[in-house]
Amino acid sequence: MRLIRQEGTRMYVLLLDSAQRDYLVSLLKEQRTSAATGLVAQLRRSDDVFGVVMWSNDDIASQLREQGVPDTPENIWAVRDSYNGRHIDDRMIEHGWGVLKESVWELMSRA
């Protein structure tokens, strides 16, 4: 198992083999929270899943503080309800495709 921070971002990638993934799924199932349930669903979709990103209100609050904005519940929900907040999945998918493309370029440059 490896946890890798994506350079230039606050995102991490957790690399798991199938046994580690199964163990993580069993731990998450015990939590019985909506976040854990969502993560379990994503992890169980396929054995070849290797990247899952989830954001929380705490992440928004942290970003608000970093930019000098009060991390009030109203501001957190304003971010979530913004255009970018409502379309964060699309943006993460676009970024993910870029990362995969760069990975293939790196592979080709080594050949």
Q: Where are the domains of the chain?
A: 1-54, 55-111
Identify whether the C-beta of residue 76 lies closer than 8 Å to the C-beta of residue 85. no
H-helix segments, 1-111: 18-31, 34-44, 57-66, 73-81, 83-86, 88-110
Residue with tokens 């798991």: 16
Amino acid at 47: D
The rounded percent of the chain whose pLDDT value lies above 70 is 91
Rounded Cα gap, residues 111 and 49, in angstroms: 26
pLDDT tens, the chain, 111 aa long = 777 777 777 777 777 787 887 888 888 888 877 777 777 777 776 666 677 777 889 999 999 999 999 999 999 999 999 999 988 888 888 898 999 999 999 999 997
What is the DSSP secondary structure assignment for residue 6, as one 8-state letter? Answer: P
pLDDT for 34 equals: 76
Per residue in 39-71, pLDDT tens? 777 777 666 667 777 788 999 999 999 999 999
Token pair, residue 86, equals 């409502």
pLDDT for 65 equals: 96
